[in-house]
Amino acid sequence: MTVDKTHPRYESLLFRDKIVKAGEQGLLAPSALISHGRGEAFDYLIGEKTTFPAKRAMYVAIASMIIAENPVISVNGNTTALVIDEIIKLAEELDAKIEINLFYRTPERIEKLAKLYEEHGYPNVLGTDDDDLEYINNLNSPRASASKEGIYTSDVVLVPLEDGDRAEILAETGKKIITIDLNPLSRTSKKSDISIVDNIVRAIPLMIEIAKDLKEENNLKLIQDIINDFNNEDNLQESLQEFKIKEEE
């Protein structure tokens, strides 16, 4: 596919193209493309821009990860296809680990994704088949598998583009769950502790900047205030107000 630069929704088409290519490379389950389409529709409805409630949630997310004991970023095929370099940069800024978790887990896709992280300068990705995997809450399901060194022992987990089933399992562990999901009323958004209603292609780069800022401030009181002042339910309600059906350009 070649992307026409004059198309009214050029940027959206560029990222769609990344997803299509990742699918062709075997990095995604077929239904991952369908998920991407759902995201496109919700993004279209918030005007393809980052809202104020989304930014607020990002500050709280970054503050929480800065003071975490063992922060982990959980990645799947879509996240990797869209923002692999930005995820690696964010992990480095936050001293966080990166762990692969797939809804439809196959050894082939796990291996391809791990190799991709290696090629992008990040050789230590967790959640591979060589890793020491445990089952959260003893649920014997691939949805519940987690790396012992990573999500299994983590206190704060960022899970962008997560499935509702897995988000629920994670939420029940008592860990602080941060999600990035364009649907403010999905189970994932509702079950998480911090729900960022935004497109990850805008959110992750912005979160890198926020991480730099907060680290430079180096003010633990500020970080605690950011976290304590936040109410996810209220913030989701504010996110919801930003949605409207609007004219297509």
List residues binding a second copy (CB under 8 A): 1, 16, 19-20, 23-24, 30-31, 33-42, 45, 104, 164, 183-187, 190, 240, 243, 245-248
**Which of 22, 27, 38 shows the shortest CA–CA distance to 181?**
38
Between residues 42 and 135, which has the closer beta carbon with respect to a second copy? 42
Between residues 41 and 220, which has the closer beta carbon with respect to a second copy? 41
Using CA atoms, how far apart are residues 220 and 50, in angstroms rounded to an integer? 27
Q: What tokens does 3 get?
A: 């992307």
Give least dist CB 89 to a second copy, A: 27
Between residues 155 and 242, which has the closer beta carbon with respect to a second copy? 242
Between residues 64 and 186, which has the closer beta carbon with respect to a second copy? 186
Give least dist CB 190 to a second copy, A: 8
Q: Which amino acid is at 114?
A: A
Q: Which amino acid is at 165?
A: D
**Which of 164, 179, 32, 20 shows the shortest CA–CA distance to 104?**
32
Give least dist CB 184 to a second copy, A: 7
Using CA atoms, how far apart are residues 54 and 181, in angstroms rounded to an integer? 10
Using CA atoms, how far apart are residues 226 and 220, in angstroms rounded to an integer? 10
Helix (H) / strand (E) element for 71: namely strand 71-75
Between residues 15 and 122, which has the closer beta carbon with respect to a second copy? 15
Give least dist CB 233 to a second copy, A: 13
Give least dist CB 181 to a second copy, A: 11
